[in-house]
Amino acid sequence: MNRSVSKTNATFPADASRSSEFKELLGSCRDKAVRWLLGQQHANGHWCAELQGDIILETEYYLYLRYMGFGDETLYRQLAGYVLSQQNEEGGWGLYPGAPSDLCATVKAYVMLKAMGHDPQSAPMKRIRDVILSKGGVVLVNSFTKIQLALAGLYDWNAVPAMPPELILFPKNFYFSIYSMSAWSRTIVVPLAVVCHYKKTVPLGIDIDELYVGGREKANPHMRWDRNPITWHNFFLVWNRIIKIMERFRIHPLRRWALWKSHQWLRDRIRHSDGLGTIFPAIVNSIVALKALGYSDNDPVIRREHGELERFYIVEDGKLHLQPCLSPVWDTGWAALTLRKAGLAPNDSNMVRAVEWLLTKETRLRGDWYIKNPQSEPSGWYFEYRNEWYPDVDDTTLVLRVLNLTEIPNQAELARASERGLAWLLGMQCRGGGWAAFDKDNDKYIFTKVPMADHNAMIDPPTADITGRVLELLGELGYTTEDAVVARAIKFIRSEQETDGSWFGRWGVNYIYGTWQVLVGLASVGEDMNQPYIQRAVRWMKSLQQEDGGWGETLDSYEEPHRKNESATTTASQTAWAMLGLIAASETRSRAVQLGLDYLARRQHADGDWKEEEWTGTGFPKVFYLRYHYYRHYFPLLAIATYLEETRRMKAASTEALTQASV
């Protein structure tokens, strides 16, 4: 697709890269953005923006409240008001604004509305039902949705995939151990295995027979077999049936032990955290599991876990929506790094407060990661306010970059934390040279074929975007391509490159995000940016620039990768990512970067902020997406600040070269 930028409404002169007026404009943009960002800092030094997900949070929360007997009609109406406000044009609900209807989200919304008294024969409800039936009906929802419906008496427990608690009894390094699942799946599946044993049902008082194609009597709610009989999917379906038969006849001699171990596992991981895993689904599942184990509704553990869910509330215009979790370490890391790059001194009081707060978030607990990466001294940073069992590579990398650029009164404490964090990070490098999010070598793809793995996030393999970010840190710490750890990482990155030159973005949308991260990482460790494989990436990134000077990529590129090359609404965050990648590839004075800068300058508001309604964050590709409300701000500011610093450096280098020549 030809996407020439010659028709842009750019306001800068053709020689903008050398225009003092344009640099003054960018300096003004930077300064306004710095003031805005500093205005969002909390008194104790941290930042935390809203983290927005889709309506599965509100619908699942409603089902949870009804199951537990919590909540009241006012709360239910607030949830329903938000859900209805997110309905799409065809009558269903998608995974992000403008997305096609998602079956699971739409089924749960229908159940919620019907349980609240909406007439199933009304035109609006028929419209929703038509969407559900057009997508195959309720039997095609994923495993987690089937469990939620079964708990409400709306689905056959026999048709729910088996989740035997005995998984927790396997040795920790065994192939099918729970530690071969991703960290987030682990915190969801362990409590669900308890729930699926007890099958404690609390009827919702309705039925959903009308959501079965052809009627419930004719529908086959059991999982479908592959046509080819010899597949891993079919193999696990056989085992699923065997486990179901054993459970029916109570042939599970290790079940009591497994339930006890699961109970202890839950209690251990609820401690040192703001709820199990500090994420919405794990916290909900932990409460339901504890209730199944005999806890009363007023038990302190249940009340505490429920209180953590209430921290996710956001009430606006009489409507209630929930965040999937809170993101203070992530937001503080990016805000502090950006402000430092934008000119704040290393010992600026705002930087000091931010870093001192970040230092309190270092975990010293041997979490689940320790099984694959045993080290004598635990470290790492997590995403949320308190989640000591689950530090992650991305947050740790980001915090270490900030620590490396800051000076605080207790510099010795900062140095010790940096040393511990770096040792932990290097120990998390996977066997193939890349880095994953929470675990090391969590890449047993066979796990994606088990029946309960249909949420598309069963494992946590290494990714190019996280690996690129780690390389950026290592380069800032003095590592080069001569170091073995870097060489292995570059080999992994090259193996992950797409034929068009781009890289997939696992944790941000999408190929723009991944390609940006790789380019800055490679440049940081001194890779020759003129190599053909890098120049392919540069050409691809430039080809995506649109007529307004910006970049944009739709979330649809996860479902259909070819759509990464199609025009999409340009955004401040994705434009910033593209520019940062190009600047790293020595394209600072290119027309593409100049047009991108003009785009950001024109889109900035008088208060120094940018506006962005589009979602550019990724939870689980094809399943759950995110809108980070500060992405619109700190990434554009970082791009502008990086450009200004790079042009200053280039000018200084040129002046020095002229001086040397004259000598």
| Cα radius of gyration (the chain) | 26
Same domain assignment for residues 4 and 113 = no
Q: How many CA atoms lie within 13 A of 407 on its CB side?
A: 5
Residue 506 has pLDDT above 60, yes or no: yes
| Cβ 450 vs Cβ 504: under 8 Å | no
Q: pLDDT per residue over 115-135, tens digit each?
A: 999 999 999 999 999 999 999
At residue 262, the pLDDT reads 97
Q: Are residues 260 and 165 in the same domain?
A: yes
Q: Which residue has the tokens 């300058």?
A: 601
- The answer to whether 435 touches 466, Cβ cutoff 8 Å, is yes
Q: Is residue 357 part of a domain?
A: no
Pairing of strands 617-620, 624-628: antiparallel
Q: How many domains does the chain have?
A: 2
- Does residue 20 share a domain with residue 64? no
What are the CA-CA distances from residue 24 to residues 122, 218, 637 (Å)? 60, 71, 15
Closest by Cα among 508, 451, 445 to 181: 445
Return the H-helix or E-strand segment holding 314.
strand 313-316
Q: Is residue 201 in a domain?
A: yes
Map residue 619 onto helix, strand or coil. Answer: strand
| 26 found inside a domain | yes
Lowest mean pLDDT among 36-45, 155-164, 516-525: 155-164
The mean predicted confidence, pLDDT, of the chain is 93
The parent domain of residue 120 ranges over: 54-322
Please indicate, yes or no, whether residues 94 and 239 belong to a single structural domain of this protein: yes
In a domain, 249, yes or no: yes
| Phi, psi of 135, deg, nearest 5 | -100, 15
Is the same domain home to 138 and 31? no
198 contacts: CB under 8 Å, gap ≥ 6: 292, 293
394 tagged catalytic: yes
Q: Is residue 173 situated within a structural domain?
A: yes
In-domain check, residue 333: no
In a domain, 375, yes or no: no
Q: Note whether 646 and 568 are same-domain residues.
A: yes
So what's the pLDDT on residue 243? Answer: 78
Q: Clarify whether residues 29 and 136 are in a common domain.
A: no
Q: Which helix (H) or strand (E) holds 331?
A: helix 328-341
pLDDT reading at 62 higher than 50:
yes
- In a domain, residue 346? The reply is no
89 and 190 in a single domain? The answer is: yes
Using the predicted structure, report yes or no on whether residue 6 has a pLDDT greater than 60: no
| 489 CB-near residues (< 8 Å, 6+ apart) | 429, 433, 434, 435, 467, 470, 471, 521
pTM: 0.94
The answer on 207 and 152 residing in a single domain is yes
Give the Cα separation of 480 and 497 in Å (integer). 21
- The string of pLDDT tens digits covering residues 312-368 is 999 999 999 999 999 999 999 999 999 999 999 999 999 999 999 999 999 999 999
Picking from 274, 291, 322, the residue at the C-terminal end of a domain is 322
Please indicate, yes or no, whether residues 90 and 226 belong to a single structural domain of this protein: yes
Catalytic residue among 54, 331, 392, 394: 394
Q: Which of 259, 294, 322 is the last residue of a domain?
A: 322
Domain boundary among 322, 351, 373: 322
500 and 570 in a single domain? The answer is yes
CATH of the domain at 537: 1.50.10.20
The tens digit of pLDDT for each residue in 306-326 reads: 999 999 999 999 999 999 999
What's the confidence (pLDDT) of residue 8? 39
Closest C-alpha to 310, from 274, 270, 286: 274
Angle between helices 255-270 and 300-310 (to 10 degrees): 50
Tell whether 98 and 170 lie within a shared domain.
yes
